[in-house]
A = this chain, B = another copy of it.
Amino acid sequence: MTNGLIHRRDLLKAGSIGLIAGSATPVMAREPWMTGPGQPMSGSGESSRYVSLAREQVGAHAFGPGAGSSSSPLQHLNGTITPSRLHFERHHSGIPDIDPDKHRLTVHGAVRQPLRFSYADLLRYPQETHLYFLECSGNSYRNTLAEPQNQTAGELNGLVSGSEWTGIPLHYLLDEAGVTADAEWIVAEGADAAGLTRSVPLSRALDNVLVALYQNGEPLQPAQGFPVRLFVPGCEGNISVKWLQTIKVQAKPGYTRDETSKYTDLLQDGQAEMFTLQMEVKSVITSPSGRMRLPEHGVYDVSGIAWSGAGTIAKVEVSADGGKNWVTAALQSDARPLALTRFRIPWHWQGQSAVLLSRAFDDRGNIQPTREAALARYSSAVIYHYNGYQSWRVGKSGEVSNVYV
């Protein structure tokens, strides 16, 4: 009835993958790398030459020079952290090469006292450290297209990544500046040539927003905003303005080019939703996934990531029959607020055709919708904020491909 999804307590019954005939002490091979000293220590480690790891869909958009994105190779990763060098990118005018000694962050507008900080100044402030996901509002937009694209999990859904972010709670800086009584919004601008500028409600800015300086333990990489970026947990990626140079406190939003020409979402009734900001509850199976091929019949671990911009993942269900029957998956990592959570469940594939998919539930009662329901939220012109199912068909010869259910 589950088309092969099994509970761990039944895993042993499926038989071991590693059985050796006989029970005598097995002969150990003596491979060349055991016969002499290996490579010496070094200042910086690298991946094995047998492992190929790179961002996917690396490409310029037609919008202008330096505009484009690249995706995390989700199908090659496990756990919840994305190495910083593989974190997705989305730039509006390329990656600026900023000298941190010359960069300044200015806090001004509806404040009693404007402030200006050098990078060295910022490093002296109290910081917080949290695991958070970051998702581009355009992530998975290819699944809004009429026909399913035969692509990998990363190509389709890799505009989401997970990191440990460390930075100054923005409220420390706003407290020092002293926001005035009429202040309701902040407007954050980046120091790239696009001057990307977005508005954040002050209530949110005073809550959990960071002025981020470190990602995964090290100073931000330039592609992630070095020397300093805004980080707005749970919200569409471009709100977390990279190369942050000004925060202006205002009574009204900025209604900037970046939040009117884009990142405003047309509804079915012709009304537009501005400042959507929050990303929805969502999950993606990363293995098995698009363009993989199962080499033989047997037990495989179905593994994926889930997240919600509203809170904490409470449960993930997996189906192997296109959504008719669902089984609760195990959570492989701790579920943390506004962070990637890894789920997994064993699946016994005996050559049957199958459609694998997942749906996530968060602790605020949100449930990941079907593709149909997700598409019904906005006008058909909208490609942002897609959080419907990602379904993978497994064919008789083990090939895996994107499919709509």
Residues on A close to B: CB < 8 A?
Answer: 8, 11-12, 16-20, 23-26, 28-29, 31, 33-51, 53-55, 58-60, 64-66, 68-70, 76-87, 89, 91, 93-109, 112-117, 120-121, 123-130, 162, 164-166, 172-173, 175-176, 191-193, 195, 213-214, 216-219, 221-224, 226-227, 243, 245-246, 295, 298-301, 303, 330, 332-333, 342, 344, 346
Given A41-B69, A214-B78, A28:B246 Cβ within 8 A: yes
Q: Which residues from B are CB-within-8-Å of A164?
A: 79-81
Given A54-B43, A86-B45, A300-B124, A193:B35 Cβ within 8 A: yes
Number of this chain's copies in the assembly equals: 2
Select which of B124, B126, B219 is within 8 A of A47 by beta carbon: B219
Q: Which residues from B are CB-within-8-Å of A303?
A: 127
Residue of B nearest to A74 (CB): B217
Q: Which residues from B are CB-within-8-Å of A58?
A: 41-43
CA–CA, A118 to B203, complex, Å?
53
Q: Which residues from B are CB-within-8-Å of A126?
A: 8, 11, 301, 330, 332, 344, 346
Q: Are B87 and A214 in contact (CB under 8 A)?
A: no
Q: Which residues from B are CB-within-8-Å of A103?
A: 31
Q: Are B301 and A93 in contact (CB under 8 A)?
A: no
Counting chain B CB atoms within 10 Å of each CB, which of A50, A101, A301, A346 scores highest? A50
Smallest distance from the beta carbon of A385 to chain B beta carbons, Å?
A: 22
Q: Are A33 and B191 in contact (CB under 8 A)?
A: yes
Given A121-B17, A227-B48, A301-B127, A39:B79 Cβ within 8 A: no
Q: Are A114 and B33 in contact (CB under 8 A)?
A: no
Residue of B nearest to A162 (CB): B217
Q: Which residues from B are CB-within-8-Å of A300?
A: 124
